[in-house]
Every structure is written in structure tokens, then in C-alpha cells.
Structure 1
Amino acid sequence: MNSRNQIRARMLRAALLAGAGSTLLIAATPAMAQDAPAPQAESEEDAIVVTGIRETIQNSINTKRMETAIVDALSSDDIGDIPAISVGQAIQTITGATTHREKGDASEIALRGLGPFLSNATFNGRDASNGSGDRSVNFNQFPSELVNNIKIYKTQQASLVEGGVAGTIEIGTLRPLDFGKRRLQADIKAQYNPYGDRIVGSGGIGWRGTLSYVDQFANDTIGIAIGVQRNDTNNPEETYAASTTWTACQASPVVANNNCNEYTRDEYGQNLPFYLVPNAYTFRQISETDKRDAIFGSIQWRPSDQFNINLDVQYSDRTYVENRRDLNLSEGRYGLTNVVYDENGIVQSLNGLSSIESNGSELARSEEYLGGGLSVEWQPSDRLTVTLDGSYSRTVRTEIERNFRLRTDPTDVNGVRTVFNNMRIPYTYSITPGSFVPTITIDPRFDLNNHNLFWDDARFRRDESKRHNEIYAGRFDVAYEMDGFLSKVSAGGRWSHLTYRDYDVRNGDFNLNPAIAEDRRINNLCRTAFPQQDYLSAAKGNSINSWATFDVDCLFREYMGAEDPGNLPDTRSVANRDVTERTLAGYVMAEYDADLGNMPVRGNFGVRVVNTRVTSDGLRSDLSVVTNPDGSIRLVTSGDFDTVTIKSQNTRILPSVNAIFEVAPNTLLRAAAYRAMSRPNPSSLGAGRTILLEDGTSFTSIEDAIRNITANGSPRLKPLMSWNGDLSLEWYPNKDSLLSATVYYKQFTGGFQPVVFNEDFTIDGQSVSIPVTQTRNSPDKSRIYGLELTAATRFSFLPKPLDGLGAKVSYNYADSNFKTQDIRLGEVYDPETDTVSAGIIPPANLSGYSKHVLSAQAYYEIGPVSLQAIYNYRAKYFQDFVGGNSQLRYVAPSETVDFRASLDLMKGVSLRFEALNLFNEPKATYMPVYGSSRQYHYYGAKYFIGIRARI
């Protein structure tokens, strides 16, 4: 099937599933009405014990109905019953929630088609640190088997204190006394990954085991809960990628023996024709091992009716190691001829020349999470409740990457001249309209699998990065219950101290050119066979299936004398971030409950005030120009550093009101109005400077090099603010059924815009003024309006055994006119002249914004059998790089189909099966305009089979 047919097939599947879901809902509507039980029938049904998927959906419907705000949830009364292999997979079944996929699994969450940075995520009601540099919870760190409720607040209320523009994601673990029963449970699963089976010597087998225990003691005054998990799996990946820096090249004149002429900002007003190209192209094969150990624990103590004390702790230690084998065309701008491009500058085909590299690396990442808190609830009287909560959360992520480069040369490693007169090899690039897969064809006279051709300009690097995110927080709440119109008044405050520090240090750029005899010896010693069968066979149009590869450890040992040269003794760098954020917040909220005529009305109103103070330290150093052995140059720091401190603060007042009108016994009308804020990511507040040299970029002048000094953050960024309104109509005909529609509107008071400041740098002893681009809050106004639909039912009106069928469909539509400019090719604000210079490519929308999000579930439960199929669709979206100040990247539309099944073998013992990404849906991205292919990933499906036992 070609790419165009694949796209048509996707559209057809989406239409069929959406149509099927709509048909199910229409057919179920009369049944919903007929199913509305009389009081006696309701009582009888209450006596029935409901478990599994039906129970989870019932709990979710009941939670939505009882909450004051507009809320969607996924919860289970029992531990380990969240129906998903990961927390991220579980969340994407909740109405309006969708995920970004990494390594084939759900990671960051977007609510109502809005990006993760617009949401606030908490764990047991507390902010959680992560190792990504943003504010989203790393859902892959938390085993779904040890989580038993997930709640998403779509609207805000003052007691949430922080909240978010898109919503708040609350992840919770059980409290043992509230659970109220003894439970010992073991769950073991085997994983099979067909892509892993294609790795030579692998087999694609992994496993995960979970053990949990809950009990109560001392006449139910003390309860404990503890859960442990070991996860040992593999996530192989095959990918094609272009570099993260793209250049607009002038269409004329054609430069056949050098880099293309860049279309500079000074020339943008001339409306010259241009095309967009990256600095390099890379084909990458990844073999991986992934291990995680997690421990969750909780102790709950009720010494009397007045006190409820809970201590909970979570620990997770995850390590994965990637062995990467790269084929790199390192000069994407060199020798470009016969360029065909469209009106947006997207290249359709071209001829080019590039040195070709066989690169390899080993990337080891370890991420340790430690979090928890102590909550004390005191109820001195029936009406007054006082709660104190202190929490701690810390994430430390360390990455170590050792990589090498071996280049082509006019001769091979044996000194035999090749048919090419220099190190650069001809290639062609072409892409079929409507396809995300470009075809790169290397001159057939060059044998990619010939190890002899890769030997020159050996370069070795050891990169180490460390991200340290730590949060101390405390909270005080007091609530007083009242009689009359106001049923409760609450007030409280929150204090938090967040620190984010990172470094990224390179011990390397060791360019080695020993005698050719030594090169020949090492080349022959360190050769390896290509480690995978059928590389990128699913990528239609791909013409590269293997290349010569080498052993990383062997090359380091033979060239460098050690497999790991170690880190530098001084990890200071001008790129380091050191951010401290102090938050002080307070709120007052009143809940009301009354009748409007014969119609019950309840809700809340309140205000919260949030003050934020940011201190960001950055390092500055003199620079020197160093000439590499291949003739290119780079910039290095002198090693003497000065600290620059930038401070900012802001105070925001956030009013909110929620109202629920019970227009009929089973029908609710909800209305909400509120102001919300979403903070910049901690990594976006750095005061450092990044000196970025893409692989393969050969600078020939200092001017070329210094153009790549960029700010790695903007400490003066303020929260993104919005005024919001929601209106929801919900119908609850019975315990299994829900039909709801919500319209919402958000008006933003600003956007994000690149801004250029001139900064003085000392280079080779001379002071040079260099324009450095950052990001500012623009004065632009923008808005979002959207529609959210949810329908769920069990077809109990069907004859047995079909009455076990059920379905849930949710859909979100959002329309936004927000603007995010490309930092190189978009609009730029000049603070000296107070003017905006035009860009040459269109802006993106909000990071993470998707116009359409659809989730459809069908389940069947009868006796011991439970089956569930889940379909998820997400329209295209812009995804910013963590840390910001980068070029635009778009993720193509995606759809996935997952399947789950369980069979009860005996009381307390069940056999379980899960399949993820059944149809091998790849992930595709574009830069810096949509349609310009940047990267695609293939992960394959994953299968899990296991057994669970509980007593």
C-alpha cells in the first residue's frame, strides 16, 4: 500500500469508527430512556457487584456527576484495576485528553487539544517534579497498577490554587483505611515486541511484575499500603531525521560547490523565492533495554474521630540504554542543484553532495524520582476542618552519551582511490506529494555496506547532561460548614520552592587522524554486522536498508585508550541553567446550595491570588576560536566565568465561579467562568547561552559561528493568562450511561514572540556585539473556542448474551488563532526601535494544540470474559522543544488502536492480554513548516500477556 493509500485508509478507519460510535449512541438513546430505573429497581441493582471495565466507567460517570466543577475521571475501587498498561495510556481514554507519544507509549498529556504546558498536573494533590524541564508529570515513571484514580478538572475553582488554562490532571493512590479491606495482589506480564524480534540476538521479550499489599490494624485505626514493581522491557526504534536547524536558501544563484546562499533577515522584505533545507539527514537504528523499579507506600492513622493522618511516599528508578547506529549525510546545504520546491518553500526534489558518515553512540539515561508528603486533617468540631500538608518531590535525570564519527574520503581505508574525486558523495532527495516519507538515494557507485569507505576524520565525543528538579511545598486549608444558602466557606494558602538546575558538558571533539595503517587496523578490528533485519521496511519509498556499522566500545578503546574518557572535572558552562521559583498563593472560596424555584442549584465562587518570584543565574565567559583538523572552526569558553543574575516577579488574581442547575432529576446544566494561568516551563526560564554547532556544519568564518549563539531561556517570561467560560449539559439516564456536551471559550491576553537583544561577547580578545534571540510575552490577543462531546452506555436492552456490550465515545473540537513565531524565520521584535520585522514562514499555533481529538471505546463483559478495544485519533499539532527558543516543529495526525482482554480462571485469578498500537502507526514530524518532512519513527506493536492473582 503506498503512502497516499495509507492516508486514505486512516481517514476511512476514523470515519467508520466515528460513524459506528454515533450509530451506537443513537441506537442506545431509547434504551437509556427505558433503562431509567424506578427506585425499587435501583435498589436491586445496587445489590449487584459490578467489576472490571463496567465498574470503572460507572465510577467515572458518578465522579463527573457529583463534582462541582466540570470534571472527567477514570477511577476504580480496587488497586490495579485501571485498565491500561501505563498511566499515560489510561489518561488518553478520558474525554478531551490525548497524548504525545515517545517510544511508542503515551507521555505528555494535552487537554481539549491544548498543549501540556497549558495544564497543571499533580500527584496526590501536590506538584510533582520531572526530568524533562517542563511542568508535566512524567507519567511513565508511575506504574498504572499502583494508581487507582485519575481526575481531570476542565474548569477551575479557587481551592485548586494553581490550576491551568486547559485544566488540572490529578493522579491519586489509595489510602489504606479508606480502602477498608485486606488485599494481597500479584501481577506478572510478559511483553513481546515484534520490532525487538528483528534485532539480531534479541527476541523482543520483556516482562513486568507488580506486588501490592493493603491492610488495616489496631481496630482499623492504622492502615498500610505498599506496592512494588520491576519493569524490564525493550523499545527498539527505527527512524529517519533531519537536523533541528533549518535554513531558508535563496533559489538563485545556484551554488554547486559550496553551501547554498542563506536568505537573511535583512533581505526578507524583498520577497525572494526560497526553499527550506536542514543542515543534515540521519538514518538511525536503535536497540534498547529499559528497566524500572518503583515502590509506592502509604501509612494512614486515625487516632480519633478528630484526626486523620496520612503519609505517602513514591520512589521510581528508571534506566534505559540505547545503542544507536547512524548513517549521516552531514552536509544538507552543500552542492544543491535541480531544486524543485512549492510555494511554501517545501522541497519536492533536489540533487546534493555530502560527506557520508557511519556514526554510532551509546546513550544511557537514568531517572530517579522521590516524592511524598504528610497530610494532617483535624476536625475539632462537626463543622470545622483544618488540613495541613507538607510535600517533597525530586527528580534527577542523568544522560551519558558516547559517540563516534567515521567519514568518507577520496580513498578507502586501504588507500585505494574511489570513483569520487573528493569526500562528498552525490545523492538525490525526493518526496511524493501527500507522503511524509522522503526518498534519499545515494549514488549507486557508493556501497553503503562497505566498511572500508568509512574511516577518515575520526571524531569522539562524550556528552553528559544532568537535570535536577526539586520542589518543597506546604499547604494550609480551613473549611467551615454552614447552614443556609452558603453551605461551606473555605480558605487556605500554599507555599512552594522550586529549583531547576542542569548542565550539558562535552568532553570531546577529539578529532583523530593517526597513520593510515593504524586506521586500517582499528577499522578491521571494530567492524560489526548491521544489527537489524528489514530496517525501515514499513516506510514506503525508503531506499536505505542497511549500512556499515562499528562497535562503540571498541573504537573508543582503540582510538582513545579507554571505553569511557569520563566527565570533565569542571561542569560549568555558559549553557547551564540555575532557576529558583518561589510561589506564595492564597484563596477564599464559598460553596452554595439552594433552590431556584423548584430547581436545585449548587456551586462555588471564590478568588485566588498567586505571587511568583523567579531568580535565574547564568554564566558568561570569554570565547576563543579553535580550528578543527578538517578546517572548520568552533567556539570554546575560556574557563573563567562570571555569574549573571536575572530576577522577575508577578502577581495574578484569579477569580472563579461554578454553578450547577439540576434542570431535571437526571439532567444537569453546568456553567463556569474563571481566570486561569499557565506558567512557563522551568527550563524556559534559564539565563544561559547555547553555542550550538550542528554536526556537519563547516564554519568558514567567525561570523558564521557566532550566529549560532542563542539564549537557552527567557527568565522574564510571564505566565500565559486567559479568561474562560464553559457551559455543559449532562444527562445521566442510569449508572452506565452518560450523554454530555460542553462548549467553552478562552481569551488569551498575550502570545509568544521572538525578541532580539544585542549582547557583547569577547572573542579572541576582541569585544563583539552579537544579536541574541529570546522569547517575550507579546501584546497579541487571541482566543480559543471549542466543543466537547461525551457519550457512554451499556446496551442492557439487548438480549443475552449481547447485553454485556458497552461503548464510550468522546470528541473534542477546538479552534484557535494563537500565534507562535519561528525563532529564525518568523517575526522578530526589536526592543530598540519598537518594531516588528516580518518573517517568511507562517507562525504555528499553541504548542500541543490539535483541532480534533477523538476517542472511541467498545467493551464486552459477560461472566468471566472481558474485552475492550480503544481507538484514539489526534489531529496535527505544533510541539515546542523543551526549553523553548527553537524552530517550529509539527507532529502529523496520529491514530492508534489498542486491545485489552481478561479471563477469570477462578476466584481471584485472571488471565490478561493487552496489545498496543496494533497497526504499527508511525510518528511523523515536520519542520519548520507543516509538510516539510523532518522525522518519522517506527516502533511497531507491543503485546502483553500475564496473570493476576489476589487474595
Structure 2
Amino acid sequence: MTTRRDRTRRQPFLLHPLAGACALLIVGLSSAHAQQAHTATEEKDMEQGNKPAVTSIVQDQQAPVATVNVSGIRRGIEAAISIKRNATSIVEAVSAEDIGKLPDTTVAQSISRLSGVTTQRSKVNGKATEVSVRGMSPTFNGSLLNGREQASTSDARSPEFDLFPSELTGSVLVYKTPDASLVGQGLASTIDLRTLRPLDFGKRMLAANARKERIGYGSGSDLGSGHRKTLTYVDQYFGRKLGLSVGLTSFKQDNGGELKFDSWGAATSPIEYNGQTVQAINGFMAETSRRKSERDGASVTLQFRPNDKFRSTADLFYSRGEEATKKTGIEGAIVGGTGIYDPNAVLTDATIENGLVTAGTFSNYKGDVRNHMFSSKDRLLSVGVNNELKVGDWRITNDLSYSKGTKRLSNYETIAGQPGNTPESQLGSITYSGFNGSNFNAVRYVPSLNYADRNVALLTDVAGWGGGPLSPQAGYLSLPTIDDKVQAIRLEAARDLELGPLAGVRVGVNYTKRDKSRLGEEGRLSIRNGDGYASATIPGSAIELAGPTGIPVAAFDPTGTLGTIYDMNRWVDATVLARDWTVGEKVTTAYLMGELAGEVLSVPYTGNIGVQFVDTRQRAAGNQVDLQNCSGNSAATCPSSIKTGGTDYTSVLPSVNLTFDVGNDQVVRLGAGKQISRANLDNLKASMNFGLQSATELDPSLTGFSGNPELKPYEATALDLSYEKYFGKKGYVSVAGFYKKLDNYVINAPRQFDFAPFVSANTPLPTTGAYAGSTVGVLTTPTNTKGGNMRGIELSVNLPFSMLANALDGFGIQAAHSYTDSSVNLPVSGFVNPSNAPVFNGAVSSIGLPGLSKNVTSLRLYYEKNGVQISLAAYKRSSFIGQILDYRSESQFTFIKGETIADAQASYEFQGGMLKGWSVFLQGHNLTNEPFREYTSDPNVITNTVTFGRTYSAGLNYKF
């Protein structure tokens, strides 16, 4: 009896106890002289580029990227098929088509071609950065690099995928079912990114790539440009005992211009006209966004395999990036006002149709000229060492890992226009025309003032958002920093058995320590050395068009104006301080898993059965304002203290995976298990804030918001069934169904709370209702509440057309479709906190499962022969609830309109002569020029549009 051991994943390296790794390395070195390095068969396999068969669970045991003897598109397809077919779980995979070349320019974009996998584009840059699997939010994925949990540079647990250049990724695996040895798994899936393994290659290889990009065709603004460079080197030494791979990548982009229009929720407001009340456009925001970004990445892997008793692999991954987005535009209310300096309008010269103002002129328009700069700098370092030693029948593995991510953000907003003390008689007006009740972004808007004139658009407090002349707000500045550190150590012992259906056993323990924080300052900007109505002239002479409206406005870069034009007045109120937090976790995972192999009714099967015991100890800290001694809005007049909390809990997670070989290259897979996903770290914060006088739906009361350090994880029970038909290693078709019972979901829920320890004698209390004179009120906190069910079906086809006719040799298709439904129904109020709320808050009362698109389809047609490669791909997903970042860089839910995105690429590789090894290529992305669109309740009424345009790139590859 044999055990199928193509485990298709890696194990976690850690802290600073590298002593364990070094000890095993020394043992291996000491035995190297007493062992033969490889058998003759193994050497022959290596020379041919094939990987020798080993029954190892360590990193270099996985299905190889470079074992197939074809190249290009088919190489990637066949390698991915091998991983999928030999896995003991239900797995989807994508593999590099060539050394340092995934099928797409981003990792997220590549895996979006897989069945049941979708991506969300960033509202900022239009790139696919977040991955949803089986209709669940990206936060429900476990994300690994070479089998190890990674630090994140966002509020979420999972790393942002744009930190991992696709050129440094050899393959990506998406585990849809859990098994006991898979540490760091998620509720929806576990996504494992893998870098190259040098001993998987049969010879020295070097590949270089350079490309130029033109960005923004069809965006309505000017074009941008970019370039990417990649170098990959793989080599083997000392009779293939030592292997080295090095990957370097660098890119820079200037996006040109992107046009954005925000209709303020596609809302209208009442206004009086000729004695009747009519409805008119409430307001709008239009801007042009210009972004510059760059990223450098490096990946180094060193493998040491002196004999068949010992092997060691060391990995290093590093990524650094910078991004700066300059937004220039105009915003303002048309009917009403947005602040105490913004009076209501008077309507004249109007055209009324069925009570709707289709055209008209509105007085008292105070346009806010926006010049904002959002920038970030991030760093991610990941280091890992994995050693395996064979002792008798046992394989002993230890793995140590360290990952640290840091992101520093700067959100700089400035406002220009007419100062707050400008008389109404001197205020401007705005005229709009062409409105039909829903086409907000197609309306023509014409202001009476020239906002490109620096005598009109002055840097000042335009609307009185700060509360008046005693606290002017001419802008806003936020400087948060996110730090995350993950350290882990793992020990495992495994051996083969012949004990009935038990073909092998493995037992292990993994310890992970994670520390994450979000800290920073924020506050209002005011003009230096001036009173509450002070103003300053916008520097320079630049002019920009405000998005698709074409309204010219004065433009400048506010970077460096703090201390010269502006002073920052730091906010220290409870709401702002509550945004700072630190969270620490210590997670110990012990597992026992048996490898299965046998027959049932003459049908052979393989698989695994096991259980994880996950012990979690979480601690959190946050700010608590001392309201008993708070008399102002500064650190001196409103002191705060650190509040802490936490909890311990243990989860028991059984799982089973069975693969039945029903003959004729057909397999049936069954998977079942218990799964958990810990809540986002910002939900665990210990900070609390409350309003001194607020109101509930029933009675006035003190109301507050807080994190919940005692929050338990999301839990689910999952069942999967899959049928797969393979056609050798060339293609397959599959049908899969799944069912998940979500035992709970985390939302913000209110509960009774006594604020007595946090109030003073001067705190005003309710004077009426059930809570009159009481310090008892309502505290809203993240809470584990009921979940629901979700189910889905997934279809995929991956076939070369040569199976149909020899004349079609070189042609092929990859297609996938998934349908997912869920009974989960969540109140919108459960996602509201004191400083943030979903974009659709107030428009709908309840929502379905965030991240869920009911229908997702992907299609890729390709041709590859005689050095020619052509690929056409399309991706479609239906509307869904996604997450974007607000102006404070905090996550915010919104409805995102369904989209269809098409890509194409073509290349030619020279087959001989002096140019052998060289290839040229062309690529086009977002050929459908699909914009990013939001809505609040009706998918046909778009409230926010960002147009990115098409991107084209051309370049050269060289490989030998």
C-alpha cells in the first residue's frame, strides 16, 4: 500500500530561535559524507528537469512548477492540473507559464480565473487587489506565503495581494477544504502563494523581462505611463546538493488622469419654486485623480539537500512600495448647505417636469475646491527556514518564520473657496441642465464663479465644518501607521504506515505570536497666524478640470504646507482616540492527522482524517478618554488613559477528505470539516467612546461605541463534493458543490451599559424618558450573532482543442462558472460605528453576505504553437457588497455594480538562430474600459463612478 504524498503546500520559521534550525542543519551536514546524494534515476530526472519522487512533507515536496517539458501557456496549465489532481483536498491552482511569469500582471488577477474565485478592484488604482472565494468577504480567506501566515499592512488579517509581484510567484494554490495539517486556514479558503524552488529545475536558468505601459486609454483624461523590470536566476551546485533562486522586480507607474463623479447618493432635495415644492439635485463631487506608484520586490530561496536523509530550505521575501494620489476637484451642496457658512439656495429660471427640476439656477452656491494628497509607504519582510530530517521511519520537520509589515499613511485634505464671512450678496450660483431624475453623472453643471481664479478659490474655512470661527477647519490631516509582526514555530513528525486504511500519520504543533497596531494623529488644518475667517492664496498657477464635469479649478500639491500655510490642531476627542489600537495574539495549534488509502466496494480511495486543537489567547488595548476630567479638546484639557482587555478560548476543528478513483481518469472528492476565521483585528480593540447626550430609537440615553477584546471567531461547518474527469495531463472538466453553515457572524450590536465610571458631575444626563437622570445607556460593540447558510455550485473546463481535431492543435479553452446563494441577512446598523458607516446606510435596512456575487464567470481562449502565443480572457461578476477606504483610510462597505473585464495578450518566442531565447509580447488590460461603479440601493442608479481606462503594455523577454 502506498500513500499519496503530493501535499501541495508548505509549512511555517520564526522569532529568533534559529538555533533549532541550525541544529538540524548541522546534523544533516555531519551525515552528508556517509550517504549517496541521489540515485541514478534521480539524477536522470534532474537532468531532464523532472523532480524526483520523495515522501516528504516539507516545502520542496510540493507538485513542482518546472516539471513539465512543454513551455508557455500549456506548461502553466499542465503544472496546475498536476497540483489539482494529486492533492488530497479540493484545490484550485494556477502555475507560472514560464520562469517568473504568471498568466497575469497581478496575483489576484491570475487566481480570478479559477472556479469559485473572484476579485475586487481597488477604487484607488483599478487593480485586482482583494480576493473573494465562494461568495465570502476577503477577510475570510487564510493567506499564506510558502505555507506560512504573513503580516498585513491593512486593518485586516490577510496581506494585500498587490504586495506580491506576480513575477516572483511560481504558483498559487486555493484550498477549498481544510485538513488538520493546514495551519492558518480560513473560513472561505486558504490561499497559498509559492515562490520558486531551485532544485525543481534541471539546470541553470536565467530570465529577464522589461516592459513599457501606457495607461488610461478611454479614461477621458490624459494618458499615463509605466515600466516593469524583472530578473530571475536559478542555479544548482555541488552535484545538485545546493540550489539557489533569486528574483528581483521593479515597477513604476504614473496613471495619467482618472475621472471620478460622486452624486452624493443620487439624492434629490425639496426646494420652493413659484409657490410649489419641487425636487432638485442635492449636490455633487467631481474630481480628477492622478496617481504615481512604485514597488520593488525580491525573493531569494536557498535549498540544501545533501542526501536522502536531510533537506533544508530557507526563504526570504521583501517588498517595498510607495503610492501618492493627488485628487483635484470641486464639491458642494446645490439646494441646502453643508455647514454654518453655507446658506440654502434660491431657485430661479427653472424647468420643471412632473415636480422635478430638470434645469435651473441656484444661488448661494459655495463650491469647495478640493486639493487632496493621499500617500502611503509600505514594507513587508518575510523570512522562513524549514528543515527535515529522516530518523528511521520518521520524518521530523521544524519550520521557523518571521514576517513584518509596516504601512505609513498620510491623508492630506485642503479646501478652497469663499471664506465663511463672505456676504450672501457676493456668493456665486450654479446652473445645471439635462437632468432626468437618474442621470446625475451626465448632467451639465456650470458655476457662475471661476474657481480656477486664485482670487476666488482661497485656502480657507469655506463651510464652517469645524464649528465656527473659534475652531476653523480649512482642511484635514491624518497620519496613521499600521505595524504588524507575525512570528511562528512549527514542529512535525510523520511516517508511513500499513495499518488497515491508515497509510500514514503526522502529528505536529504550531505556535504563532502576532502583534499589530494602528496608531497616529489626525486633526483639522487652520490658516497660520489668522483668525477664524483667515485665508491664503493657493500656491502656483496650475489648473485642473474637475473630473467629467470639465469645470476648471485651481490646483496645487499640499505636501509641505504644514507649518508654512497651515497649522494642525490635533483632535483628541474620544471618537478620534478610539481609532488607535493594539492587539496581540498567541495561537497554539496542535494537530493529528492520518493519511488514508484503501478500497470501498472495489473503488480505491485516498485521503486524510484528523483534528486540530486551536488555543487562542488574545489581548487588546485602546484609548479611553477621562470624561470626568475632560474640559476641552486638547491633550492637556482632555486626558486619556489606556484601556485593556482580552480572552482565551479553544476551538476543536475535525476534518476529513476522501478522493475516490472511479476509473477512466475520473475522481470523486468529498470533504467535510469545522472551520473558523478570527475577526478583523480592529474589531478586537479595547477602546471606547460615547456621546454625552444622544438618543436611541425609543428614549434619550447615553450611547457609546467600543471594540470587543472578548470577541470569538466566526465559525462554520462545511461540506464539499466534487467530480473531476481528467484527460491525461492535458485537461479536465469538473463539477463541484458546497454547503456551509455559518454558525455566527460578527456585527455591531447594542446592549445596555452603565457609563457611571466614565462620567462626571458635569455630564448632562437625559431629562426625559426611561433613562431620565440615569448613567445607564446603550453601548454598541462587535458581537457574535447568528449566521445562516450558504451553498453553491462550481463548473470548470480546461481543455486543449486538439482533443477534438488535430487541425485545432494549439488552441484551447479555460472556462469556469459559479453560482452562490446565501440565507444570511444582516442589519445595516450592525456595520455602523461612530466615525464610519456603510455608503448605503439609510438607503437600505439590511444586506446579504458581503463579498457575495451570485454569478461569476471567467473565460480564456488561447492559441500556442511554433512560438506564437495568443490569449483572450474575460471575467464577469454580478453586483456585490464590497469594501472601500474612506478619507481616514478606514474600511467602508458599499454596493459595487457588476462588471465585465476583458484582457488580451500575444507573444512570439524566436525558435532558433541568434534570437533564440528572446520573445516579444503585447498585452491589453480592461479592454472593455469598465469603470468602477457604486450604488446605494438601485443598481440602475449609479452614485459614484471612477473611470480607469485601458492599459496597454509591450516588452521583451529573454531566457536561457
Which TM-score band (shorter chain)? 0.7 to 0.9
Q: Hey, what does 1:205 align to over in structure 2?
A: 225
Higher mean C-alpha displacement, 587-596 vs 568-577: 568-577
Q: Hey, what does 1:541 align to over in structure 2?
A: none
The structure-2 alpha-carbon separation of the partners of 1:347 and 1:922, relative to structure 1 and needing over 3 Å to count, comes to farther
Q: Hey, what does 2:23 align to over in structure 1?
A: none
**Post-superposition offset of 1:124:** 0.4
1:492 aligns with 2:508: yes
What are the equivalent positions in structure 2 for 1:603-614 lying under 5 Å apart?
603-614=607-618
Alignment-mate amino acid for residue 478 of structure 1 = A
Q: 1 CA distance for matches of 2:623 and 2:72?
A: 55
Q: Secondary structure at the match of 2:552?
A: coil
The structure-2 alpha-carbon separation of the partners of 1:453 and 1:824, relative to structure 1 and needing over 3 Å to count, comes to farther
**Post-superposition offset of 1:733:** 2.6
Q: Deviations over 1:123-157 (max 9, x none)?
A: 10011111111122321111111111111111111
1:813 counterpart (807, 815, 819) = 819
Q: Hey, what does 1:901 align to over in structure 2?
A: 906
Q: 2 CA distance for matches of 1:685 and 1:349?
A: 50
Alignment-mate amino acid for residue 395 of structure 2 = T
Q: 2 CA distance for matches of 1:192 and 1:124?
A: 33
CA contact under 8 A between 2:318 and 2:379: conserved in structure 1? yes
The structure-2 alpha-carbon separation of the partners of 1:879 and 1:714, relative to structure 1 and needing over 3 Å to count, comes to farther
Q: Secondary structure at the match of 1:131?
A: coil
CA contact under 8 A between 1:96 and 1:811: conserved in structure 2? yes
Alignment-mate amino acid for residue 728 of structure 2 = N
**Post-superposition offset of 1:422:** 6.9
CA contact under 8 A between 1:612 and 1:650: conserved in structure 2? yes
1:750 aligns with 2:747: no
1:878 aligns with 2:881: yes
What are the equivalent positions in structure 2 for 1:24-173 lying under 5 Å apart?
49-76=69-96, 78-102=98-122, 103-173=125-195
Q: 1 CA distance for matches of 2:745 and 2:531?
A: 57
Q: Deviations over 1:295-343 (max 9, x none)?
A: 111111123321111110111110011122131226886459999xxxx
What are the equivalent positions in structure 2 for 1:645-656 lying under 5 Å apart?
645-656=644-655
Q: Secondary structure at the match of 1:784?
A: strand
Q: Secondary structure at the match of 1:303?
A: coil
CA contact under 8 A between 1:186 and 1:211: conserved in structure 2? yes
Q: Secondary structure at the match of 1:64?
A: helix
Q: Hey, what does 1:327 align to over in structure 2?
A: 330
What are the equivalent positions in structure 2 for 1:494-509 lying under 5 Å apart?
494-509=510-525
Higher mean C-alpha displacement, 584-593 vs 677-686: 677-686
Q: Hey, what does 1:300 align to over in structure 2?
A: 303
CA contact under 8 A between 1:823 and 1:887: conserved in structure 2? no
What are the equivalent positions in structure 2 for 1:497-896 lying under 5 Å apart?
497-511=513-527, 514=530, 519=535, 522-523=537-538, 526-530=540-544, 536-537=547-548, 544-553=549-558, 556=561, 560-561=563-564, 573-622=577-626, 638=637, 640-689=639-688, 711=705, 713-757=707-751, 758=753, 759=755, 766=763, 771-778=778-785, 780-797=786-803, 802-823=808-829, 841-880=844-883, 888-896=893-901
Q: Secondary structure at the match of 2:847?
A: coil
Q: 1 CA distance for matches of 2:852 and 2:579?
A: 29
Q: Deviations over 1:695-742 (max 9, x none)?
A: xxxxxx986999999646433332111111111111113322211101
The structure-2 alpha-carbon separation of the partners of 1:313 and 1:875, relative to structure 1 and needing over 3 Å to count, comes to same
- TM-score, normalising length from structure 2? 0.78
CA contact under 8 A between 1:197 and 1:204: conserved in structure 2? no
**Post-superposition offset of 1:691:** 9.2
**Post-superposition offset of 1:351:** 10
Alignment-mate amino acid for residue 926 of structure 2 = N
Higher mean C-alpha displacement, 220-229 vs 766-775: 766-775
Alignment-mate amino acid for residue 282 of structure 1 = M
CA contact under 8 A between 1:294 and 1:315: conserved in structure 2? yes
**Post-superposition offset of 1:774:** 2.5
Q: Hey, what does 2:42 align to over in structure 1?
A: none
The structure-2 alpha-carbon separation of the partners of 1:552 and 1:887, relative to structure 1 and needing over 3 Å to count, comes to closer
Q: 1 CA distance for matches of 2:715 and 2:433?
A: 44
**Post-superposition offset of 1:425:** 4.7
Alignment-mate amino acid for residue 598 of structure 1 = S
1:917 aligns with 2:937: no
Q: Secondary structure at the match of 1:63?
A: helix
Alignment-mate amino acid for residue 731 of structure 1 = K
**Post-superposition offset of 1:596:** 2.1
1:184 aligns with 2:206: yes
CA contact under 8 A between 2:481 and 2:519: conserved in structure 1? yes
How many matched pairs?
A: 832
Alignment-mate amino acid for residue 897 of structure 1 = A
Residue identity over aligned pairs, in percent, reads: 25
Q: 2 CA distance for matches of 1:648 and 1:687?
A: 12
- TM-score, normalising length from structure 1? 0.79
In the alignment, structure 2 segments of 5+ residues that lack a partner are 1-65, 274-278, 338-343, 351-355, 463-473, 766-774, 835-840
CA contact under 8 A between 1:70 and 1:153: conserved in structure 2? yes
2:260 counterpart (239, 254, 259) = 239
**Post-superposition offset of 1:927:** 3.4
The alignment's C-alpha RMSD in Å is 4.2
Higher mean C-alpha displacement, 760-769 vs 784-793: 760-769
Q: 1 CA distance for matches of 2:319 and 2:259?
A: 28
Q: Hey, what does 2:11 align to over in structure 1?
A: none
Q: Secondary structure at the match of 1:766?
A: coil
**Post-superposition offset of 1:454:** 2.1
Q: 1 CA distance for matches of 2:759 and 2:428?
A: 35
Alignment-mate amino acid for residue 405 of structure 1 = I
Q: Secondary structure at the match of 1:158?
A: coil
Q: Deviations over 1:747-796 (max 9, x none)?
A: 11123343225546559953666744332111x24101110000111111
Q: Hey, what does 1:944 align to over in structure 2?
A: 953
Q: 2 CA distance for matches of 1:394 and 1:286?
A: 31
Q: Hey, what does 1:21 align to over in structure 2?
A: none
The structure-2 alpha-carbon separation of the partners of 1:518 and 1:720, relative to structure 1 and needing over 3 Å to count, comes to closer
**Post-superposition offset of 1:563:** 8.2
The structure-2 alpha-carbon separation of the partners of 1:130 and 1:195, relative to structure 1 and needing over 3 Å to count, comes to farther
In the alignment, structure 1 segments of 5+ residues that lack a partner are 1-45, 258-274, 340-345, 538-543, 628-632, 693-700, 829-837
Q: 1 CA distance for matches of 2:623 and 2:687?
A: 6
Q: Hey, what does 2:235 align to over in structure 1?
A: 215
The structure-2 alpha-carbon separation of the partners of 1:826 and 1:406, relative to structure 1 and needing over 3 Å to count, comes to closer
**Post-superposition offset of 1:556:** 2.8
The structure-2 alpha-carbon separation of the partners of 1:452 and 1:120, relative to structure 1 and needing over 3 Å to count, comes to same
